[in-house]
Amino acid sequence: MAIYELGHEWYMIDLGFQGVPQVIAAYVFRGSDGVTIVDTGPSTTIPNLLAGLAELGVSDDAVYQLVLTHIHLDHGGAAGSLLQRFPRARVFVHPVGAPHLVDPSRLWASAARIYGDRMEQLWGEVRPCPKDRVVVLEDGETISLGDRQLLALATPGHASHHHAYLDTATGYVFAGDVAGIRIGGLPFVFPPTPPPDIDLGLWRRSIERLRALRPTRLCLGHFGTVHDCDWHFDDLLARLFLWAGWIGAQLELGADPAVIAERLQALTDEELRLVSGESTPLPAYHWASGSYRMTVDGYVRYFRLHRPFASGL
């Protein structure tokens, strides 16, 4: 667990997911009205989150707002457990995600199709959130931070239930996963494309919406903050659509998705070695992005819905 001061009362806690640094971040705002947490992480990282809050001098009674960019378990899996611990807290979420916080059974089942018998190890328990403590946020609505506001921005593409949040006083954008994965400021932005509902067209429009804000920094779920926002967006879009074309071509040639995933991993690992100078791929990228089979399966599902191929899709 490590804590980074971002300025303007914002802090970032490295949740130390699976004992690996720089995989999942939670963002903490200490205001006059109390403490707001943007993205709770999964239940397996609750001890590290609580340790970070204790180091910041935050009591359980001080936390009054949990703000989720989306409901994937690495971003919001701990919300139900934390509501039990923080008596004042409410959780803010996109309207599509809200029912799955109240009854997480379908969310758990969907994730289990991807992660199988690793669910408990990776995510831990996913407890339901009491309905009266779940606040639905529509696009353009705001959350009060005392003397400033967090503006909710519907940003689908990675997930239909995705919000990014703009701190209107500082220009910080808390981007969840729609701005991709970038570890340690390396010049490589990984597009996270899990099934079931990635949408490349919506994703491109979401990125352009964030770009138009001229953010002073992007605060990523995986991992940390970046200032070269235009370059970052360009690299994400380039790789998102490059992979779409390459995977689509492989599918048209009849390649099996499992084989495509192996080829994509080999190509990506080599690129990561080149940009990082490491002799082996950086583990944080692997943990943050999930499996390459999951990455390919997200594209396959998208193509089935939007761009069917003659090769049996």
Q: Are residues 131 and 42 in the same domain?
A: yes
What's the rounded mean pLDDT across residues 192-211?
96
Q: Are residues 157 and 197 in the same domain?
A: yes
Cβ contacts of 177 within 8 Å, gap of 6 or more: 69, 70, 72, 75, 158, 159, 162, 192, 221, 222
Q: Please state, in angstroms and rounded to a whole number, the distance separating the CA atoms of residues 256 and 263.
A: 11
Q: How confident is the model at residue 308 (pLDDT cuts 50, 70, 90)?
A: low
The 8-class DSSP code of residue 200 comes to: H
Global pTM reads: 0.95
Looking up residue 215, the CATH number of its domain turns out to be: 3.60.15.10
Give the domain range for residue 261: 238-306
Q: Among 174, 208, 236, where does a domain finish?
A: 236
| Relative orientation angle of helices 292-306 and 229-252, to the nearest 10 degrees | 70
Paired tokens of 237: 């879009």
Domain count, the chain: 2
Q: Are residues 40 and 189 in the same domain?
A: yes
pLDDT for res 113: 86
Among 65, 75, 39, residue whose Cα is nearest residue 134: 65
| Residue-wise pLDDT tens digits, 254-281 | 999 999 999 999 999 999 999 998 877 7
Give a yes or no: residue 311 inside a domain: no
Task: Kindly tell me if the per-residue pLDDT of 309 is higher than 60.
Answer: no
Task: Kindly tell me if the per-residue pLDDT of 288 is higher than 90.
Answer: yes
